Each structure stands twice: as structure tokens, then as C-alpha cells.
Amino acid sequence: MIANPNLISCNFLRFGPLLHDSKLYNPKTLFSPKTLFSLKLNNRINFPIHPYEKKRNAQICLSSEIKNPIVQERDSGENGVEGDEDGDNGGGDWTTSILLFLFWAGLMYYVFNLSPNQTPSRDMYFLKKLLNLIGDDGFKMNRVLVSLWYIMGLWPIAYSMLLIPSGRSSKSSIPVGPFATFSFFGGVYALLPYFILWRPPPPRVKEAELSSWPLNFLESKLTAGFLGAVGLGLIVYASLAQDEWKEFFQYFRESKLVHVTSLDFSLLSAFAPFWVYNDMTARKCYDKTAWLVPLSIIPLLGPALYLLLRPPLTTIPVSLESTLKSD
């Protein structure tokens, strides 16, 4: 009898794999019908049945060869930011990607074909003024437009800090860096293709990455503080120009430059709360920073506050793969 431990091993585990399924914590499939059904089923039954378990008179006997799912989850999550590179968290769910692609395609069609374009020559003049290619010629630029223009230069920094490393994809070879760089020129129109191709969870962060570019810059509290301080100053500057808002709305109805830039700002503000939540879950700090999710709907300032208060990667277990290889 002792030679075959499987015949005498009987464990009464009341917590099954449904409680520790990493698919339930995948931000991209969190609200799918399949996940919601699993949660509903889990709440209705006292304990789920493991695939290898057999029910006999309300007793559930587990083979001693089956590992404890709680231990498995702990061991798989002690290195890296979040997730298992070899898992299939959301690997088969393309519904969100298809919907995002349709949204992006419709958005680009609107921008190029349907957005107002009554003043193309004035748009070119505004663009040159905003880029400081034209000196002081006596024309005073609208202060709301100037503030919006400079805020659009801060958004790519905020998104880079949210996407690297927690928004990287471990299930595809698509790097986030080029999309974050192009967002300085194309804004949300350049980021949406990456949102479509994004396949969580993120890959593990190696110890050597923490002190190298770009993580040393993106993880810096000085960067987050600069982002919030400059953003607050620009918003206050625009809010004080009360007599120029009517003129700005007139530009919005006539100018493709102002219209498309305003739409870009609105969409970046709308997508920011999701990526704040995704970064929280990847850093496993949601319990401590959940109150910042509602605040992240405040354009730029909400995400900047989270970036300032979030725990640094140095306080989170990282992969020591390079160190182990060197030994």
C-alpha cells in the first residue's frame, strides 16, 4: 500500500482552479461572457470540481501527483510583472481586437473624409505658428489652442509610462516602442493599431532593464512629477482664457487641424483609465491604488497622479534570468 501513494492520498481542497484561473484577471477578457459565466457558477457552487477529481459521496480525492493550484500560481507569479509567457491568457479572444479595428478604420475614414476642412490655408498658418516656424508677426494665437497643442505633446509620455513595461505583449513579436514613438506625431491614431495587436500578459521584466533606457526614465518619479506639473499649468492657462473659448469652438467647427487634434485629446483621455487599471493589475497594487482609477478619467492629470503614486518596479519581484544564466 505504501508503494503506491496514489491509492491512499486523499485531499479535501475546497478551493479549485476557477478561483485561480489567470484568465479571470486578464484585462482584455475580464468581461467576456465566458468569464462572467464562470464567476456566476463559482458563486453558486461551494467548490468547483478539478478536471482530475472524482466525486464519491461528497468526498473529493485528489491524486498526490496533482500540484496544488495555489502553490502553482504563487510559483509562477513570483518572477516578472504579471502573467505567464507560456499561458494562453486571452490568446483565443479576438473580439476586442476586431471591434477596435473597426473603430480605428471608421475613425480614420472620418478624419480624412468627413471632418471639417473649410480653412486649409489657415490650418497651415496655425501649424507653422505652433511649431515656431513663423516669428512674431502681430497675430495672437488662441490660448486654448496653444494649451491643447502642448498638452498633446505630454500625452505620449504618459502613455509610454503606462505601456512600458506593463502594456507589452508576450504573445506576439509586436514591440510597443515604435507605436509609442509615433504617438508623438500621430497621437491616438498611431496608438490604436497597437491596442488592436496587443496580446497580454506582459513579458517578465529582467533586473538589467531597471537601470537601462527607457525604464529608468519612464519609472522616474521626476518624470511623473514634471508631467503633472506642466499639464496642470497648461490646463490652468487655458481655463483663464475665458474670452477665447468661443473662438476655439468656432475653429473646431471649421478647421481640420483643431477638430482632429481635439478628437485626439478626447480619445486619449477616454482610453487612459483602462491602461491605468491594466498597469495596476500588472504591478499587483490594485488593492492599494484602486481609488486612483476613478480619478484617471480627469484628462492627463488623473493618469499623471497615478504615475506619481504607483509603486516602482524595484519593489516588485522581477525575473533574475540573466543572473541565473551567469551563475
Per residue in 171-217, pLDDT (tens digit) is 878 899 999 999 999 999 999 999 999 988 888 888 778 778 888 89
- Select from 55, 77, 99 the last residue of a domain: 77
The pLDDT confidence band at residue 315, using thresholds 50, 70 and 90, is low
Q: Which pLDDT does position 169 carry in this prediction?
A: 84
Q: What are the CA-CA distances from residue 116 to residues 103, 180, 252, 263, 264 (Å)? A: 19, 27, 8, 12, 15
The string of pLDDT tens digits covering residues 97-132 is 999 999 999 999 999 999 999 999 999 999 999 999
11 domain residue, yes or no: yes
Among residues 77, 93, 127, which one ends one of the domains? 77
Q: Is residue 314 domain-resident?
A: yes
- 258 belongs to a structural domain: yes
Judge if pTM exceeds 0.85.
no
Domain that holds residue 53: 5-77
**Residue 93: inside a domain:** no
